[in-house]
């Protein structure tokens, strides 16, 4: 294709292209890498190719931000400690509609694009659902042409790479920036300054404060393009890197402290060195406190400077700015915005407070008490004394209001106190976020209901209008169009174009479940996805799988409440059944697990070891060969998910009811035609509402039953009275799966039988096994199975993140699709 065509698509500024797409690529190889294009290794080819794609989008990216500055619309700012982006090249090619050009280029140059794509490391700047949600949201915002910026941290090391050695998880660093990243653009001239009340040292992930020596950090922004589908709007994801002023600062150099200056720089840079890989507890992580403030301080300074440079008056802040806090991690935005409005803008308290509350909104992502953030007042005193002063004043006024509304209710007063009193008093960040924002939302209907009714009932009563629900969604561009090309093509042939941005159009395929021709094409697309995955996992990890078996998939962080253990025990039950009845006629099944355990979460790591150990025994047992296979796939990542999800037949969503806020892999799997085996938890409930209970396998206790049986639940009863349960557990406890490491699964026995099985695995085991029995029966009839799988795709429209973002936009942010760029 000629440059004029590219220019017509994406050009819009004074700069024009000077060649064809081939030339863009070759010029990059020669000029950036000084290498003969014919001799370039794959990595250099990737950089050149990605660079050429960036050249194509550069003008539109610039134009988008210029348009926002000129038109001055209300803009959304999404603050998140995590953006789990994954790879970018294929996504940008898709969203820029460059596929035809790229295909032509591949044919003419003999370049293998799949090989290039594999060169890109995942940008793994997140732990799991919360971080991937942020990435889906910014893509939807750009696709829907909503003026928006995502703000996060540019960690040198993303989520660790998981290795499995002798069946155990070990963590390896992920230096994803080792090679230059072709997407990011550093903007040193827009560096932000972060003043701190004390200087500090970093030791083992903790900071040691040197009181009374005020200091400051610098935040250098690195921008990444966020390409909307169709490439018209290209928003920005701005990631901050921590540093200090140049080490070659003349003053320090000449004063002789060269060594000190250099080591201070290293110290400062450790603030954005690594993503915290523990999403299950917030205890004792003082460096994390600095990270969170660093994000808030840099981002708010940036937001305010954009707001002012567009000529806005302070009083119009909520009319021009909507800031969404992704969990409490950026909740220091409440005192920080107050500080800016009081100390910099010189507004009075009442006006500053009104503007702050109307500008900020907060999303809650978990009800687990151990994950709710609380920061020591002492940390605030040392590093952010002014913020503590402001928090105390917010608290004083708030408690005054509560007292006048409910006089004499001291118990309530202490429950809603923003400060948890005690020897080491703490700021309750969720309470601060609720009080300091105009909207608090949960991420699925049941989660929002429980948040209101069980977790923060006092706040829900005080601020009934603030609480709302925004059920999560996922972007169909990455998770269907890009990940599952065969199914995407079939969908387009059936419903035409347009489903990519209006996923409800997929409803049209619902009747086609009855159509033999369509069903066969659907089954063929599923098989093609399985073969793609089988080839990929063989090449990546050397694992051999049979695509002609049922793929039963549980992919998510390893947590007790997500109950990978329930799945593992059920596998043992089927193993036992097959051993005692070799004629048992069940469809051959491959049970696939993937997910990371927090490095300090011992029991989660034992569960990984159990799954790998079961796999070792079961996969080597000729008695079940060809019928049952168990694999734990190492290093779960966006890229693994994109490959595996299209291949899945069964989606395991089996958390204890009331514990999974929403889940999003459940949505991705449904969209790709997997049937859900799930509890009535999180968004599973809404999935079943859409597709119908007869098209999923729902089992287990409801949230209410979990709550009501907590007092009398006795896991030992199940062990003593259910033969299959006992036989399965005894194999674990008696080291059948760990003959060389006796006793390693004792912590599982203790959790289940001695400490009361808090997540009620044994209570749900029988109904889970029955559900799995039904799965096997249905799978034996491919037509009946395909019909239900097709209905799952057809009814997945609600779970597009476009729907979620449309709800945030109209009900929380009051923003409209933006100016034409």
Query: In this structure, what token pair is assigned to residue 123?
Result: 């940008």
Residues numbered 191 to 250 that lie near ligand 26V (CB under 6 A) are none
Does 128 sit near ligand 26V (CB under 6 A)?
Answer: yes
442, β-bridge pairs: 469
Does 129 sit near ligand 26V (CB under 6 A)?
Answer: yes
Query: In this structure, what token pair is assigned to residue 106?
Result: 């591949």
- Cβ-contact 711, 760 below 8 angstroms: no
Per CB under 6 A, the list member of 167, 663, 678, 700 interacting with ligand 26V is: 663
Distance, in Å, from the CA atom of 409 to the CA atom of 413, rounded to the nearest integer, reads 6
Does 133 sit near ligand 26V (CB under 6 A)?
Answer: yes
Single out the segment in contact with ligand 26V by CB under 6 A; choices: 64-72, 245-253, 273-281, 622-630.
273-281
Does 278 sit near ligand 26V (CB under 6 A)?
Answer: yes
Per CB under 6 A, the list member of 661, 669, 771, 812 interacting with ligand 26V is: 661
CB of 329 to ligand 26V, least distance (A): 7
Residue closer to ligand 26V (CB basis): 475 or 664: 664
Per CB under 6 A, the list member of 47, 55, 327, 764 interacting with ligand 26V is: 327
Specify whether 664 is catalytic. yes
Task: Find all residues with CB under 8 Å of 477, minimum gap 6, and list them.
Answer: 91, 94, 95, 139, 143, 229, 500
Residue closer to ligand 26V (CB basis): 500 or 681: 681
CB of 556 to ligand 26V, least distance (A): 9
CB of 553 to ligand 26V, least distance (A): 17
Single out the segment in contact with ligand 26V by CB under 6 A; choices: 247-255, 281-289, 484-492, 743-751.
281-289
Does 499 sit near ligand 26V (CB under 6 A)?
Answer: no
Specify whether 703 is catalytic. no
Does 279 sit near ligand 26V (CB under 6 A)?
Answer: yes
Per CB under 6 A, the list member of 75, 366, 455, 612 interacting with ligand 26V is: 366
Closest chain position to ligand 26V (CB): 129
Specify the pairing of strand 675-678 against strand 650-653: parallel
CB of 153 to ligand 26V, least distance (A): 12
Total residues interacting with ligand 26V, rule: CB under 6 A: 23
Give kind and range of the element (H or E) at residue 618.
helix 602-620
R_g over Cα of the chain: 27
Residue closer to ligand 26V (CB basis): 365 or 426: 365
Does 682 sit near ligand 26V (CB under 6 A)?
Answer: yes
- Cβ-contact 729, 719 below 8 angstroms: yes
Single out the segment in contact with ligand 26V by CB under 6 A; choices: 64-72, 179-187, 527-535, 655-663.
655-663
C-alpha pair distances (Å), 398 with each of 5, 345, 435 = 60, 23, 8
Query: In this structure, what token pair is assigned to residue 344?
Result: 């910099």
Residue closer to ligand 26V (CB basis): 545 or 805: 805
Closest of 534, 606, 616, 615 to residue 571, by C-alpha: 615
Residue closer to ligand 26V (CB basis): 301 or 474: 474
Single out the segment in contact with ligand 26V by CB under 6 A; choices: 34-42, 155-163, 656-664, 796-804.
656-664
Per CB under 6 A, the list member of 1, 371, 495, 778 interacting with ligand 26V is: 371
Residue closer to ligand 26V (CB basis): 37 or 330: 330
Residue closer to ligand 26V (CB basis): 434 or 661: 661
Instruction: Lay out the site mask for ligand 26V across 424-453 (x = CB under 6 A, - = otherwise).
Output: -------------------x----------
How many CB atoms are located within 10 Å of the residue 498 CB? 10
If you write DSSP's letter for every residue of 678-712 in order, what string do you get?
E-S-TTHHHHHHHH-GGGSEE-S--HHHHHHHTTT
701, β-bridge pairs: none
Does 668 sit near ligand 26V (CB under 6 A)?
Answer: no
Does 140 sit near ligand 26V (CB under 6 A)?
Answer: no
C-alpha pair distances (Å), 115 with each of 43, 48, 730 = 9, 14, 47
Query: In this structure, what token pair is assigned to residue 167?
Result: 């069946």
Does 130 sit near ligand 26V (CB under 6 A)?
Answer: yes
Specify whether 109 is catalytic. no
If you write DSSP's letter for every residue of 207-242 in order, what string do you get?
EEEETT--EEEEEEEEEEEEEPTTSS-EEEEEEEEE
The single residue listed with the structure tokens 């608290």 is 395
Can you say how many angstroms the Cα of residue 248 is from the centroid of all Cα atoms in its chain? 39
Query: Residues 668, 718, 761, 798: which is the catalytic one?
Result: 668
Does 658 sit near ligand 26V (CB under 6 A)?
Answer: no
Single out the segment in contact with ligand 26V by CB under 6 A; choices: 117-125, 140-148, 272-280, 458-466.
272-280
- Cβ-contact 122, 175 below 8 angstroms: no
Closest of 243, 273, 291 to residue 80, by C-alpha: 291
Closest of 804, 144, 793 to residue 472, by C-alpha: 804
CB of 659 to ligand 26V, least distance (A): 8
Q: In the chain, how many H helices and how many E strands?
A: 34, 25
CB of 246 to ligand 26V, least distance (A): 32
Planar angle of CA 548, 166, 612, nearest 5 degrees: 40
Does 365 sit near ligand 26V (CB under 6 A)?
Answer: yes
CB of 438 to ligand 26V, least distance (A): 20
Residue closer to ligand 26V (CB basis): 155 or 276: 276
Residue closer to ligand 26V (CB basis): 136 or 192: 136
Query: Residues 328, 612, 664, 679: which is the catalytic one?
Result: 664
Give the three-class secondary structure for 265. Answer: helix
CB of 614 to ligand 26V, least distance (A): 25
Residue closer to ligand 26V (CB basis): 59 or 127: 127
Per CB under 6 A, the list member of 660, 686, 690, 757 interacting with ligand 26V is: 660
Distance, in Å, from the CA atom of 597 to the CA atom of 553, rounded to the nearest integer, reads 17
Helix H segments across 310-450? 317-320, 333-339, 349-359, 377-383, 385-405, 410-416, 429-435, 445-450
- Cβ-contact 151, 235 below 8 angstroms: no
Single out the segment in contact with ligand 26V by CB under 6 A; choices: 87-95, 123-131, 484-492, 692-700.
123-131
Residues numbered 709 to 768 that lie near ligand 26V (CB under 6 A) are none
Distance, in Å, from the CA atom of 458 to the CA atom of 464, rounded to the nearest integer, reads 10
Distance, in Å, from the CA atom of 307 to the CA atom of 73, rounded to the nearest integer, reads 10
Kindly state the DSSP code that residue 364 receives in the 8-state scheme: -
Give the three-class secondary structure for 3. Answer: helix
Give the three-class secondary structure for 631. Answer: strand
CB of 492 to ligand 26V, least distance (A): 29
Specify whether 557 is catalytic. yes
Does 662 sit near ligand 26V (CB under 6 A)?
Answer: yes
Residue closer to ligand 26V (CB basis): 133 or 688: 133
Residues near ligand 26V (CB under 6 A) are: 127-130, 133, 276, 278-279, 282, 285, 288, 327, 365-366, 371, 443, 472, 660-664, 682
Which active-site residues does the annotation give? 365, 556-557, 562, 664, 668
């Amino acid at each position: 294709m000629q440059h004029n065509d590219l220019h017509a698509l994406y050009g819009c500024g004074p700069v024009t292209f000077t060649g064809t797409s081939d030339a863009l690529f070759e010029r990059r190889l020669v000029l950036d890498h000084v290498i003969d294009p014919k001799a370039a290794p794959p990595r250099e080819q990737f950089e050149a190719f990605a660079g050429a794609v960036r050249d194509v989008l550069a003008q539109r990216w610039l134009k988008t931000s210029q348009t926002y500055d000129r038109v001055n619309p209300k803009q959304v700012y999404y603050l998140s400690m995590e953006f789990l982006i994954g790879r970018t090249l294929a996504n940008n090619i898709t969203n820029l509609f460059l596929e035809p050009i790229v295909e032509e280029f591949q044919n003419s140059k003999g370049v293998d694009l799949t090989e290039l794509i594999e060169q890109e490391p995942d940008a793994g700047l997140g732990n799991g659902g919360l971080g991937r949600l942020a990435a889906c949201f910014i893509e939807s915002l750009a696709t829907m042409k909503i003026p928006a910026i995502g703000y996060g941290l540019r960690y040198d090391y993303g989520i660790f790479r998981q290795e499995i050695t002798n069946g155990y998880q070990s963590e390896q660093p992920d230096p994803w920036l080792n090679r230059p990243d072709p997407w990011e653009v550093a903007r040193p001239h827009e560096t932000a300054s972060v003043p701190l009340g004390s200087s500090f040292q970093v030791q083992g992930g903790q900071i040691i404060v040197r009181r009374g020596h005020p200091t400051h950090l610098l935040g250098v922004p690195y921008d990444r393009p966020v390409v909307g589908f169709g490439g018209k709007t290209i928003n920005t994801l701005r990631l901050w890197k921590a540093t200090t002023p140049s080490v070659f600062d003349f003053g320090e150099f000449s004063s002789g402290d060269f060594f000190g200056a250099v080591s201070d720089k290293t110290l400062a840079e450790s603030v954005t060195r690594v993503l915290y890989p523990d999403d299950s507890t917030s205890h004792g992580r003082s460096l994390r406190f600095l990270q969170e403030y660093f994000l808030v301080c840099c981002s708010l300074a940036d937001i305010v400077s954009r707001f002012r440079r567009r000529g806005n008056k302070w009083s119009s802040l909520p009319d021009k700015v909507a800031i969404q806090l992704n969990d409490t991690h950026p909740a220091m935005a409440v005192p920080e915005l107050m500080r800016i409005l009081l100390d910099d803008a010189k507004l009075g308290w009442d006006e500053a407070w009104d503007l702050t509350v109307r500008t900020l909104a907060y999303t809650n992502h978990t009800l687990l008490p151990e994950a709710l953030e609380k920061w020591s007042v002492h940390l605030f005193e040392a590093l952010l004394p002014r913020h503590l002063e402001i928090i105390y004043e917010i608290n004083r006024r708030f408690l005054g209001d509560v007292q006048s509304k409910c006089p004499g209710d001291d118990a309530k007063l202490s429950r809603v106190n923003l400060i948890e009193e005690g020897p080491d008093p703490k700021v309750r960040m969720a309470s601060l976020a609720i009080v300091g924002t105009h909207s608090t939302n949960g991420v699925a209907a049941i989660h929002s209901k429980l948040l209101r009714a069980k977790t923060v009932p006092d706040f829900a009563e005080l601020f009934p209008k603030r609480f709302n629900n925004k059920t999560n969604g996922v972007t169909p561009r990455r998770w269907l169009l890009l990940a599952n090309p065969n199914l995407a093509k079939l969908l387009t042939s059936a419903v035409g174009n347009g489903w990519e941005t209006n996923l409800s159009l997929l409803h049209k395929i619902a009747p086609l479940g009855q159509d033999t021709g369509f069903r066969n094409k659907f089954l063929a697309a599923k098989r093609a996805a399985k073969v793609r995955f089988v080839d990929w996992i063989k090449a990546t990890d050397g694992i051999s799988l049979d695509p002609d078996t049922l793929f039963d998939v549980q992919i998510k962080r390893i947590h007790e409440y997500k109950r990978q253990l329930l799945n593992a025990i059920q596998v043992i039950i089927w193993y036992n059944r097959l051993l005692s009845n070799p004629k048992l006629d069940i469809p051959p099944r491959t049970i696939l697990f993937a997910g990371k355990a927090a490095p300090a979460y011992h029991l989660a790591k034992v569960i990984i070891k159990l799954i790998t150990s079961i796999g070792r025994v079961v996969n080597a047992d000729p008695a079940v060969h060809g019928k049952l296979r168990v694999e734990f796939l190492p290093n779960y990542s966006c890229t693994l998910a994109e490959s595996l999800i299209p291949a899945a037949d069964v989606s395991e969503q089996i958390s204890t009811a009331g514990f999974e806020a929403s889940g999003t892999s459940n949505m991705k799997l449904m969209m790709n035609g997997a049937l859900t085996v799930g509890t009535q938890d999180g968004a599973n409930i809404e999935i079943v509402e859409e597709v119908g209970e007869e098209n999923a396998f729902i089992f287990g206790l409801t949230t209410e039953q979990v709550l009501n049986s907590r007092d009398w639940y006795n896991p030992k009863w199940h062990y003593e009275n259910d033969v299959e349960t006992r036989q399965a557990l005894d194999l674990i406890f008696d080291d059948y799966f760990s003959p060389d490491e006796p006793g390693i699964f004792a912590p599982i026995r203790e959790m289940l039988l001695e400490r009361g099985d808090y997540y009620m695995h044994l209570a749900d085991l029988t109904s889970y096994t029955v559900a799995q029995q039904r799965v096997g029966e249905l799978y034996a009839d491919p037509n009946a199975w395909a019909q239900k799988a097709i209905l799952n795709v057809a009814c997945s429209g609600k779970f597009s993140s476009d729907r979620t973002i449309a709800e945030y936009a109209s009900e929380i942010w009051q923003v409209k699709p933006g100016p034409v760029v």
